[in-house]
Amino acid sequence: MARLAYGLAALVAVGAAALGLHGMFGGAFTLRVGWLVPLGGLQLTLDPLAGFFLLVIAVGVAPASVYAIGSAGGARRGLGAYLVFVVSMCLVPLAANMMTFAIAWELMSLASYLLVLHERESRESLRAGWVYAVMTHAGLACLLAGMMLLGAWTGSSEFADWRAAAPGLGGGARSVAFVLLALGFAGKAGVIPLHVWLPLAHPAAPSHVSALMSGVMIKLGVYGLLRASFDWLGAGPPWWGVAVLIVGAVSSVIGVLYALVEHDLKKLLAFHSIENIGIILIGIGAGLLYQGAGLEALALLGVVAALYHTLNHAAFKALLFLGAGAVVHATGTRNIEEMGGLIKRMPWTAACFLVGSAAISALPPLNGFVSEWLTFLALLQNTHLARPSLSLAFALGIAGLALTGGLAMACFVKAFGITFLALPRSEAAARAHEAPPSMRIAMVLLAVTCVALGLGPTWVVPALATVAGALLGNTTPVAFGDWLTLRVSDGFATGSALAIAAALGVALVALPLGLRVAGASRRRRAYETWGCGRIGQTARMEYTATAFANPFKRVFDFLYRPTKKLDIDFHPESRFFVERIEYENPTRSIFDDWLYRPVLDGLSGVARAARAIQSGSANLYLAYILAVLLIMLVLA
């Protein structure tokens, strides 16, 4: 039963991929079923952007479903919600009017909410579900408000009509709609400071669902942002772009910084999703700014970079979550401080996780590098804007992106190194076992996707350029070099992933051969790790994840605001003998303390004040009704 359902989901994904590719290369259709949905009927339209996001969904859903066959076993809990989740995600990009969109969007949120509550016995899950429900519905409220305003102003609930009528709206109206829609979509995408649900909800769900939530679902927020800013509203004032660019840069840096001090493997990955959404937003922000300035080719480059990173992130984040799921499955813990040495017991998982780690750290020749490179190229050409004041915003975006790249590399050295290398740090890690075949197949599929997307930008970029061109309404096609070399902006930069990969390959083959020709000794002897002659090596001598992240904790202490708690029990006879040391060095979230705490306190304060008028007496309530009626009569 469970296998059948997950198999069905995988089939849906294959169908979505086919449909998506069809849409990306110009296939289009519109489906209307008037009676099915109130207020305008069900309306689905396939266009290149929708096609691209269907493909992104398929890239995540197909392996995740194959993986679930192995990881979920015969468990039936969450089966229905999973299927609804997958189908509603596919419907979101296709929706072509307000009601269809809202229903698909809400179904997706509800289904994922149920999946977050998978382990509903644990308090942690309940809290995660609650925060997720509140945040996602606050976002929905913003979205609906924005959409209803647009609907009221344009007199239609169909997206096609908005596209036609929006340029005619006043600047203020369009900005209000933009802010509301952007807030709603950014909440779903997990942009800072609306990210609080993400590190709670993603780890709580089963791993194949986490992979989908992090790899795919939050991308639909990106989809919405692209749709709203480029399609529905058209080119806006520069501050839209600046806002998106800065928010993206802040999200990427802060997301990766929180990931660095996080030792729960799935939470760490969730924070990296915030970072990667930030990188995508940087591309979109650059695109918006160039579009506003009429620089078509550069706007296209920014959007292509964002789309490429969207696809890449779906691949490597799904891969990493599936790998993390296999590790959690094998060790029974999410805390990387209790892992270690898994590369020997789980070689497949380790190899796949390594590919994912290198890809997300933007290391050549994998896919993350290509999209970050394109984003850099979009940012670096801002001198064409001829507005020096904007250059500084771009410089901050560039610096943020560069810092993110370095920090992500540092974080994945930690994530991979502490989890998979050295000696196991716990009994469970020492007894770990490799994942079953279906889980391995899913991970290998995604690892291959990462490599292929890294080696084939010369094929992927032109395809994405057609999608972006359709979205931006570009008329002139942009050339991107030949099959071997990507030439961006008439030789501003050139790059060839294939040539680099080939050169690396040749060097890797030539070096051992060269050593042999040079007559190098080939003797190898195994002996214990050098520890200054100390006797015996245990996992307690290893560097921990906490220690590894400590330099960052000290450098960025204004953000982490670490608190230190040292508790020592001395021997009753002498203070020179210690019986027990307890050391805690947790970090605090400035967003919880400075944003959410005051807002929530304010809300509950207002609610407490409102309690004063709730006495429970029917007479008093009748008096209220009378008073309100009187006031309304006077006002009318």
Partner 1 sequence: MIAAIAVAVAQVIVVGAGAPLLVGVLRTLKARLVGRRGPSPWQPYADLRKLLAKEVVVSTTTSWIFRATPYVLAATMLVASLIVPVFLARPPLAFPGDVILLMYLFLLGTFFLALAGLDAGSAFGGMGSSREVAVAALAEPTIIVAVFALAMRAETIDLARVVERFSREPLLAANPAHLLAFAAFFIVMLAETGRLPVDNPATHLELTMIHEAMVLEYSGRYLALVEWASAMKLCLFMTLLANLFFPWGAGGLTGPAAIPLGVLVLAGKLVLLVIALAVLETTVAKLRLFRVPELLAGSFALAILSVMAVVLV
Partner 2 sequence: MLRQLWTALRTGIVTEPPARVSDLERVGERLAAEITRAFGRSLHIRQVDAGSPNCCEIEISGLTGPHYDLERFGLHFVASPRHADCLLVTGPVTRNMAEPLRRTWEATPDPKLVIAVGDCGRDGGLFRGSYAVAGGVADVIPVDAVIPGCPPSPAALLAGLLDAIRRRR
Q: What is the per-residue burial (b if ≥16 Cβ within 10 Å, else e) of 165-204?
A: ebeebeeeebbbbbebbbbbbbbbbbbbbbbbbbbbbbbb
Between CA 352 and CA 103 the distance in angstroms is: 37
Tell me whether residue 173 or residue 423 sits nearer to partner 1 (CB atom). 423
Phi-psi region of 584 (alpha: psi -120 to 50; beta: other; left: phi over 0): beta
State whether residue 262 is helix, strand or coil.
Answer: coil
Q: What is the dihedral of CA 315, 320, 323, 328, to 10 degrees?
A: -140
Residue (523 or 575) nearer to partner 2, CB: 523
- From the list partner 2, partner 1, none, which binds 388 (C-beta under 5 to 8 Å, kind-based)? partner 1
Q: Which is nearer to partner 2, 479 or 541 (CB)?
A: 541
| Of residues 528 and 579, the one with the C-beta less far from partner 2 | 528
Q: Which of 188, 272 has the CB closer to partner 1?
A: 272
Query: Minimal CA–CA distance to 481: which of 468, 467, 499?
Result: 499
The smaller minimum CB distance to partner 2, of residues 35 and 530, is found at: 530
Shortest Å distance, C-beta 196 to partner 1? 25
Nearer to partner 2, 523 or 608 (CB): 523
Q: Cβ 533 to partner 2, closest distance in Å?
A: 3
Cis preceding-peptide flag for 206 (omega within 30 of 0): no
Q: Does 523 bind partner 2 (CB under 8 A)?
A: yes
Task: For residue 306, give the nearest of 226, 252, 390 by alpha carbon.
Answer: 226
Q: How far is the CB of 111 from partner 1 (least distance, A)?
A: 37
Output the DSSP codes for 495-507: E-HHHHHHHHHHH
- Binding of residue 534 to partner 2 (CB under 8 A): yes
Min separation Cβ 66 and partner 2, Å:
44
Residues 368, 449 contacting (CB under 8 angstroms): no
Orientation angle between helical segments 2-24 and 457-472, nearest 10 degrees: 70
Q: Does 606 bind partner 1 (CB under 8 A)?
A: no
Binding region for partner 2 (CB under 8 A) out of 31-39, 350-358, 378-386, 533-541: 533-541
The answer to whether residue 555 forms part of the interface with partner 1 (CB under 8 A) is yes
Choose between 216 and 350: whose C-beta lies nearer to partner 1. Answer: 350
CB under 5 to 8 A by kind: which of partner 2, partner 1, none does 526 bind? partner 1
User: Among partner 1, partner 2, none, what binds residue 573 when CB lies within 5 to 8 Å by partner kind?
Assistant: none
> 362 touches which of partner 2, partner 1, none (CB within 5 to 8 A by kind)?
partner 1
Contacted entry of partner 2, partner 1, none for residue 554, CB cut-off 5 to 8 Å set by kind = partner 1
Contact call for residue 522 and partner 2 (CB under 8 A): no
558 binds partner 2 (CB under 8 A): no
478 contacts: CB under 8 Å, gap ≥ 6: 297, 300, 301, 465, 469
* 577 near partner 2, judged by CB under 8 A: no
Measured CA to CA, the distance from residue 286 to residue 230 in angstroms comes to 12
Rounded to whole angstroms, how far apart are CA atoms 273 and 279? 10
Is residue 597 involved in binding partner 2 (CB under 8 A)? Answer: no
Q: Which of partner 1, partner 2, none does 358 bind, CB closer than 5 to 8 A by kind?
A: partner 1
Between 533 and 572, name the residue whose CB sits nearer to partner 2.
533
| Binder of partner 1 out of 550, 590, 591, 596 (CB under 8 A) | 550
In DSSP terms, which residues pair with 33 in a beta bridge? 42
Question: Does the protein bind partner 1 through residue 18 (CB under 8 A)?
Answer: no
Closest CA to 338 of 266, 428, 413, 412: 428
Identify which of 369, 357, 196, 362 has the alpha carbon closest to the alpha carbon of residue 270: 196
- Buried-state track 306-339, b at ≥16 Cβ within 10 A, e below 16: bbbbbbbbbbbbbbbbbbbbbbbbbbebbebbbb
Residue 456, class by beta-carbon neighbours within 10 Å (0-12 exposed, 13-18 middle, 19+ buried)?
Answer: middle
Nearer to partner 1, 136 or 361 (CB): 361
Quick one: what does residue 535 bind among partner 1, partner 2, none, with the CB cut-off 5 to 8 Å set by partner type?
A: partner 2
518 counts as binding partner 2 under rule CB under 8 A = no
Site string for partner 1, 339-378 (x = CB under 8 A): -xx-xx-----x---x---x--xxxx----x--xx--xx-
**Residue span binding partner 1 (CB under 8 A) among the ranges 217-225, 232-240, 430-438, 506-514:** 506-514
Residues near partner 2 (CB under 8 A) are: 523, 525, 527-528, 530, 532-535
